[in-house]
């Protein structure tokens, strides 16, 4: 029988009881329809996970007993930072979700010249919170115990100068492929654009910061396809896609 996994951003200690927050409590009670004495797995994004038992399930409260800690990791040996040009609605949501599933460690949403999304006033923190929830749920589903970091929204020109490792940006007109280059210290930084791609000025800014333009084959990919294809490619070339894994419970 599969045991569901939940992200709980609280200190977890064996032998303690904790109350789930409203969102997780609703999910356990209404969606999973679990009863008292059922087992769930909790993790707080700091490594490892805890086997827990539900001790109370009511309309107001869901309590769990934290029972046993397991040292569990599905992290790739390749550390991946993703600068993700902000795209519209579901495209951005999909890119964030699948990036977490594909093992990214750090995501920064980037504002570029061709970004069509307007994030003014309260919209910026609202979108960040929305994307953070996507990160959390994708980590639950994919079995990750270390939560990828979602950084504050930045302008591309401010972000490119602060990156490390092998730095590449996706450019359908580039002559270099990922197979032609090698990461430094198992660190890769990927820069991907929004709908419409990068402007010439943004390409120059990236190159000045030592980003290498690379192409992903002869076809021009949509923004949400390009980032996922690049992540899969670097995991195959230098990461853990050659390692046999173990299926986990899907939320």
Q: What is the pLDDT of residues 82-141, one digit of tens each?
A: 999 998 878 999 999 999 999 999 999 999 988 877 777 788 889 999 999 999 999 999
The pLDDT of residue 247: 44
Asked if 27 and 33 touch (Cβ cutoff 8 Å), the reply is no
The pLDDT of residue 72: 85
pLDDT at 238 over 90: yes
Query: Fold for domain 79-238?
Result: Alpha/beta knot (3.40.1280)
d(CA 251, CA 73): 18
174-225 pLDDT, tens digit per residue, is 999 999 999 988 999 999 988 888 899 999 999 999 999 999 988 888 888 9
pLDDT at 170 over 50: yes
Report residue 217 as tokens: 């084959």
pLDDT at 78 over 50: yes
Burial pattern 84-122, b for ≥16 Cβ within 10 A else e, equals bbbbeeebbbbbbbbbbebbbbbbbbbbbbebebebeee
The pLDDT of residue 243: 66
The pLDDT of residue 1: 63
- Mean pLDDT, range 141-164, rounded to an integer: 94
pLDDT at 249 over 50: no
pTM for this prediction: 0.89
Asked if 6 and 24 touch (Cβ cutoff 8 Å), the reply is yes
Domain with CATH 3.40.1280.10 in the chain: 79-238
Asked if 84 and 119 touch (Cβ cutoff 8 Å), the reply is no
- Mean pLDDT, range 216-235, rounded to an integer: 91
Q: Count Cα neighbours of 217 within 13 Å in the Cβ-side half-sphere.
A: 9
CATH class name, domain 5-70: mainly beta
With 0-12 / 13-18 / 19 or more C-beta atoms within 10 angstroms meaning exposed / middle / buried, residue 172 is: middle
pLDDT at 248 over 70: no
With 0-12 / 13-18 / 19 or more C-beta atoms within 10 angstroms meaning exposed / middle / buried, residue 156 is: buried
The pLDDT of residue 244: 58
Domain with CATH 2.40.240.20 in the chain: 5-70
The pLDDT of residue 136: 95
The pLDDT of residue 245: 54
Look-up of token digits 């994708």: 138
The pLDDT of residue 118: 75
* DSSP 3-state of 95: helix
39-58 pLDDT, tens digit per residue, is 999 999 988 999 999 999 99
């Amino acid at each position: 029988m599969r045991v569901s996994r939940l992200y709980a951003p609280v200190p977890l200690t064996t032998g303690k009881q904790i109350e789930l927050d409203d969102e997780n409590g609703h999910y356990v009670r209404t969606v999973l329809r679990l009863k008292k004495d059922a087992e769930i797995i909790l993790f707080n994004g700091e490594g490892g996970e805890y086997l827990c038992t539900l001790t109370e399930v009511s309309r107001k409260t869901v309590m769990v007993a934290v029972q046993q800690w397991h040292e569990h990791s599905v992290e790739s040996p390749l550390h991946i930072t993703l600068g993700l040009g902000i795209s519209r609605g579901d495209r951005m949501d999909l890119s964030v979700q699948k990036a977490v599933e594909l093992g990214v460690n750090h995501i920064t949403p980037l504002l570029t010249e061709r970004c069509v999304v307007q994030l003014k006033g309260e919209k910026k923190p609202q979108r960040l919170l929305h994307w953070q929830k996507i990160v959390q749920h994708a980590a639950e589903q994919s079995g990750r115990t270390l939560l990828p970091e979602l950084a504050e929204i930045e302008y591309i020109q401010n972000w490119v100068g602060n990156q490390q490792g092998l730095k590449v940006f996706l450019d359908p007109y580039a002559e270099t492929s990922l197979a032609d280059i090698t990461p430094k210290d198992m660190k890769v930084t990927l820069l991907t654009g929004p709908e419409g791609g990068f402007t010439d000025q943004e390409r120059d800014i990236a190159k000045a910061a030592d980003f290498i333009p690379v192409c992903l084959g002869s076809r021009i990919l949509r923004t949400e396809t390009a980032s996922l294809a690049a992540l899969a490619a670097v995991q195959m070339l230098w990461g853990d896609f050659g390692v046999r894994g173990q299926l986990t419970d899907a939320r």
